[in-house]
Amino acid sequence: MPSLTPAAEPERSPWRDALLRFRRNKAAVTSLVFLVCVTALCVIGPWLLPHAYDSTDWDALKLAPSLTNSHWWGTDESGRDLLVRCLMGGRISLMVGILTTLTSIALGVVWGATAGYLGGVVDQVMMRIVDIMYAVPYLLIAILLVTVLGRDFYLVVLAITAFSWMDTARLVRGQTLSLRQMEFVEAARAMGVTTPRIVFEHIVPNLMGLVLVYATVTVPSVILTESVLSFLGLGIQEPMTSWGVLIHDGAQMLDSAAWLLILPALMLSLTLYSFNYLGDGLRDALDPKDR
């Protein structure tokens, strides 16, 4: 019997194919580069700049942005350098955004895939819990959490996670319901593969494209939620700051110092915009119909 030769191309995982398609998408690549730059600036910027985020420059209260003095982005009404505060705020906002997205996506994937694959009563119970979580007013719980446990960065992450994993769980469950009908899942069952292995080794890798796209949309929404919590005094507290806090403070100074609103808002919106573009690019790159 003649042997069949495999395709001549080198090993190409579905991920590699997606990467090749992603690289052709200019807008998505630009967004990714922008996000990397912003993140890098937020991480190292505060060390390189001459001002500290919480020290007052008494000679420069509410100074307008200019390149002629050391406060390029100006100062706020307490004489604190806006650029450093924007970068520090970016650290907090991005950290909350990424950390919370990771935890909420992880929880949502495990929850949704388990419910979707096991089905039946387990599915019913697990998804009713999701429904209940949707019905709970999250601000109320956030206020309770903060009152009982005190203000803390990780508490913010926990509080936002607790109320943002359900979307992922529903999405993943729906996808799992259709994946479990696939023949390769049946084939794995026929081979005696244990249930946890089927869920986490066969189904979850097939979900990762969808989840990745969803994660890029979750990051901005988490950053916004953090702004809301901070605005209500439940999140990040002075003198530490985040983009949400900066925008809130800047909005009050709109008449006399518009830059205090415009510059942080610009950073936040460009970042959110980039995340959305990145998500768009990933969705196109990972679309199996384009394979």
User: Binding residues for other proteins, per CB under 8 A?
Assistant: 1, 3-7, 9, 11-14, 119-120, 182-184, 186-195, 197, 201-202, 205-206, 208, 288, 291
The C-alpha R_g of the chain, in whole angstroms, comes to 23
Measured at the CA of 286, the angle between CA 282 and CA 291, to 5 degrees, comes to 145
Helix (H, G, I), strand (E, B) or coil at 75: strand
Supply φ then ψ for residue 81, to 5 degrees.
Answer: -65, 125
Least Cβ distance, residue 32 to other proteins (angstroms): 23
Least Cβ distance, residue 178 to other proteins (angstroms): 12
Least Cβ distance, residue 115 to other proteins (angstroms): 15
Q: Which is nearer to other proteins, 7 or 140 (CB)?
A: 7
Whole-angstrom distance, CA of residue 228 vs CA of residue 265: 14
Least Cβ distance, residue 206 to other proteins (angstroms): 5
Say if residues 94 and 101 touch (Cβ distance below 8 Å): no
Q: Which is nearer to other proteins, 95 or 204 (CB)?
A: 204
Q: Which is nearer to other proteins, 150 or 192 (CB)?
A: 192
Question: Is residue 30 classed exposed, middle or buried when 0-12, 13-18 and 19+ CB atoms within 10 A define those classes?
Answer: middle
Least Cβ distance, residue 120 to other proteins (angstroms): 7
Q: Which is nearer to other proteins, 91 or 202 (CB)?
A: 202
Q: Which is nearer to other proteins, 62 or 189 (CB)?
A: 189
Whole-angstrom distance, CA of residue 115 vs CA of residue 135: 19
